[in-house]
A and B are shown apart, each in its own frame.
Chain A
Amino acid sequence: MTAASRQMKLGAFLWATGHHIAAWRHPKAHVTAGIDIDHYIQLARTAEAAKFDMVFCEDAAGLREANVAISSQTSRSIGFEPISLLSALAVQTSRIGLVSTASTSYNEPYGLARTFLSLDHLSGGRGGWNLVTSASPIEAANFGSTGLRPHADRYQRAREFAEVVTGLWRGKPGGASGSGHDSQSFSVRDPLDLPRSPQGAPVLVQAGASDVGRDLAARTADVVFTAAQTFEEAKAFYDDLKGRLAAYGREPDDIKIMPGVAPVVAETTTQAQEKYEELQELIPDDVGVALLSSYLSIADLWRYPIDGPLPELPPSEGMQSRQALVIEQSRRDNLSIRQLARHFAGARGHWRIVGTAAQVADELQARFEGGAADGFNVMPSYFPGELDAFATLVVPELQRRGLFRKDYEGRTLRDHLGLKRPM
Chain B
Amino acid sequence: MCNHYHPLSTDTPKLLDATFTRRRFLGGMAMLSAAASVPGFVGSTSEAYADTDWYTSSKPGVPEGRVLVVVQLSGGNDGLNTVVPFGDDNYNRARPGIRINDAVKLDDADGIGLNPALRPIHEMIGQGRAAVVNGVGYPNPNRSHFKSMDIWHSAKTDEKEMRGKGWVGKALDTAYPLDRHGNAPERAGMACVSIGNEAPMAVHGSHVQPVAFQSATAFQWAGHGVHDAVSDGYNKINQNKADADPADPLAFVQRTTLDAQVASSKVRKAVQGGTETRFPANPLARQLSMVAKMIRAELPTRVYYVTLGGFDTHAQQANKHTQLLTQFADSMKAFYDELNKTGHDGRVVSLAFSEFGRRLRQNASNGTDHGVAGPSFVFGPSVKHGLHGSYPSLDDLDQGDLIHTVDFRSVYADLLDNWMAIDSRRALGAEYGHLGLFAKGKRA
Chain A bound to chain B: no
Q: Chain A residues in contact with chain B, CB under 8 A?
A: none
